[in-house]
Copies of this chain bind each other. A is one copy, B any other.
């Protein structure tokens, strides 16, 4: 009916609309969009005015189709509800923002299947890069199909040959346990997250090594994800002649649970039971007693991961690296 039809709906204006209204060719408009090189001041001004008037925004899809970068990176974490990962996300976000890049956030809930779907969704969206805190079961196949750089954060994907940024989990757990041993604790329980995770594994392992080397009894570590299971684990070890006198918690949320549980039980810290945790948290120093921890440099880890990702995006040939950041023993009042 209308041969020079404006689009059927009132959808966003396109480059062609700008060109038509400004009375110039499509190429000229494109040149204006991309800096205005080789365009006379007069046309430049006119085209800019039309763009402004129409509220023209170039279509990302069309640009991407022509091979332009999406200026978007993916970030896959187990959950942003965990302060560890939300701090990391904030830091990564910050770096991305400095590069004019947006972050596509996905949470895997530590579910390898969900993770796989999310990677696939990110591939389709043609992100320029990906930072991932892999689930326990991530296989190298997960990243087989990606055509962009991938950096692992906090945990590796075994045998995938990817750049990985993580904390010194073994070293940190060793230092923590050694400290408990030095302070004279004899029956030390290790409580923490799911052992399938490489981070937890390393921490459990270090704890076991130190305890056994010191000639102390090794109490099988307890994998407790939530409050209830942590509670029942504690209850099992807190009475009777076999009772423990210290706890090494491998996870920040668990540390808080343990603090609450001991308080409720009326157990004195560090008098009856000493406590040290892996990972610092906001209120660790205002609790009573304040909680000793080994602190991961979360922000530094995340920033580093993001920076390396951007390096690899700029230079896809750059070699993969394995980066382990040191952990810091923060002694406070709980042991």
Asked if A272 CB lies within 8 Å of chain B CBs, one says no
**Cβ–Cβ < 8 Å partners of A105 in chain B:** 75, 89, 93, 102-105
Contacts A124-B60, A260-B286 known; A90 to B97 CB distance under 8 Å? no
Copies, count:
2
CB of A121 closer than 8 Å to a CB of B: yes
Chain A interface residue count: which class? 35 or more
- A76-84, A153-161, A215-223 - interface stretch: A76-84
Query: In the complex, A79 Cα to B299 Cα: how many Å?
Result: 14
Residues of B within 8 A of A90 (CB): 79-81, 86, 107
Residues of B close to A259: CB separation below 8 A: 286
Interchain nearest-CB distance for A298 vs B (Å)? 11
Contacts of A40 in B (CB 8 A): none
A220 to chain B, nearest CB (A): 28
Select A287's contact among B106, B126, B286, beta carbons within 8 Å.
B286
Q: Shortest 4 CB-CB distances between A and B: which pairs?
A: A86-B86, A61-B64, A81-B90, A61-B65
Footprint of B on A, CB under 8 Å?
Answer: 10-12, 55, 57-62, 64-65, 67, 71-72, 75, 79-81, 83, 86-87, 89-90, 93-94, 97, 102-107, 114, 118, 120-126, 144-145, 147, 256, 259-260, 263, 282-283, 285-288
29 contacts between A and B (CB under 8 A): A10-B147, A57-B120, A59-B124, A60-B125, A60-B126, A61-B64, A61-B126, A62-B65, A65-B65, A72-B125, A75-B105, A79-B90, A80-B86, A80-B93, A83-B83, A86-B89, A90-B107, A93-B105, A93-B106, A93-B107, A94-B107, A97-B106, A97-B114, A102-B106, A103-B105, A105-B105, A256-B282, A283-B287, A286-B287
